[in-house]
Amino acid sequence: MSDGMPVVVTVVEVMDETPTVKTLRFDRKFTILPGQFCMVWVPGIDEVPMGFSSPDMITVQRVGEATQALISLSIGSKIGIRGPLGNGFSPQGRVLAIAGGVGVAPLYPLAVNGSVDTFILGARTEAELIFADSLMDLTDLKIATDDGTAGHHGFVTGVLDEQIDLLSYDTICVCGPEMMMKGILNRLSDAGIADRGQFSLHRYMKCGVGVCGSCAMDPDGLCVCRDGPVFTGDQIINSEFGSYARDASGQRKRV
């Protein structure tokens, strides 16, 4: 992307991940850093932010009109990809990755390229685990499910508390529901290593390039699209992260 316009791609494969999540593979590979995102244009519907789950894939959870349209697409359908946008993860040393639900998508490329030593994957049930089979072959995988149907019975933070020595990792890369990520950041902060955390944030976006301000976070005015979506823990420890986001009108709302 050089002119700010979306690149039209064709869907060549649709993979069912869970009852509400599908992965779409398209006919073009983009040059991405793990953690970067794109604005996905669904003709006639909307343009929405989506993390790359590989250079030629996005993994979509049904949450609204645009995502419902995306997971309803079939092979041969066309969408627009504007990106890659934002920054990505920059892991160093020994790496722990933690994902909740569809938050596994931007972390998955890190595991594919061999950057992750330990991966904690969480979901509500075993049926909702995403990429678990692949991750088992790529890294030391630990699983948590809310209902106990696979792995640890409980949240990913339970695996952290019971099985992980945080101080033994140089980088902790995280993506998932915001309150899950806030719980992890609190643990890193309590251990004095908030700066080792790298958190991929999701916010409502209109432009994706830092113009509209819909994804801004106080008190420093950081824009998730322009300054993120990946932030270190020390950048966001005193921000709205875990407390507030903004809706389509720009009004603050509780996370």
- Whether 35 is in a domain gets the answer yes
Percentage of the chain beyond pLDDT 90 is: 80
pLDDT in tens, 20-65: 999 999 999 999 999 999 999 999 999 999 999 999 999 999 988 9
pLDDT in tens, 90-103: 999 999 999 999 99
Going by C-beta distance under 8 Å and a sequence separation of 6 or more, which residues neighbour residue 17? 23, 59, 130, 131
Q: Are 214 and 246 within 8 A, CB to CB?
A: yes
Number of residues in the chain: 255
Number of domains forming the structure of the chain:
2
Checking if the pLDDT of 130 tops 50, the result is yes
Same domain assignment for residues 126 and 186: yes
State yes or no: 225 annotated in a binding site: yes
| Residue 29, domain extent | 7-85
- Whether 31 is in a domain gets the answer yes
Same domain assignment for residues 40 and 147: no
Six token digits for residue 42: 């669904």
Q: What CATH number is given to the structural domain containing 115?
A: 3.40.50.80
State yes or no: 223 annotated in a binding site: no
State yes or no: 207 annotated in a binding site: yes
Output the average pLDDT for the chain.
93
State yes or no: 215 annotated in a binding site: yes
Same domain assignment for residues 225 and 100: yes
Q: How far is Cα 194 from Cα 106, in angstroms, rounded to an integer? A: 20
Same domain assignment for residues 73 and 118: no
